[in-house]
């Protein structure tokens, strides 16, 4: 269903290439990337991601 949605909405990356949404992890990655662009400390990003270590 996500694949059909991405085709219907014509979701593309910054280079204009189609982005296939095979699972919801892409949404999580995008949200964390947008948050990281705002410049919060790494431990804040880790908390949102549910990671115990920066690696």
Q: Is the residue at 55 inside a domain? A: no
Average pLDDT over residues 11-31: 75
pLDDT digits (tens, 9 = 90+) for 32-54: 888 889 999 988 888 888 888 87
SS3 assignment for 24-46:
CHHHHHHHHHHHHHCCCCHHHHH
Please give the average per-residue pLDDT across 16-29, as a whole number: 72
Give the start-end residues of each E strand in the chain.
Answer: none
For residue 16, CA distances in Å to 30, 40, 44, 47 come to 16, 28, 31, 31
The answer to whether residue 26 sits within a structural domain is yes
Q: Is residue 54 part of a domain?
A: no
Nearby residues of 9 by Cβ (< 8 Å), 6 or more positions away: none
- Considering its fold, how many domains does the chain have in total? 1
What range defines the domain where residue 17 resides? 2-49
């Amino acid at each position: 269903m996500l694949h059909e949605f991405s085709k219907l909405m014509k979701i593309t990356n910054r280079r204009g290439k189609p982005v296939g949404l095979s699972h919801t992890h892409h949404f999580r990655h995008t949200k964390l990337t947008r948050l990281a662009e705002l410049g919060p400390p790494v431990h804040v990003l880790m908390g949102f991601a549910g990671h115990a270590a920066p690696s």
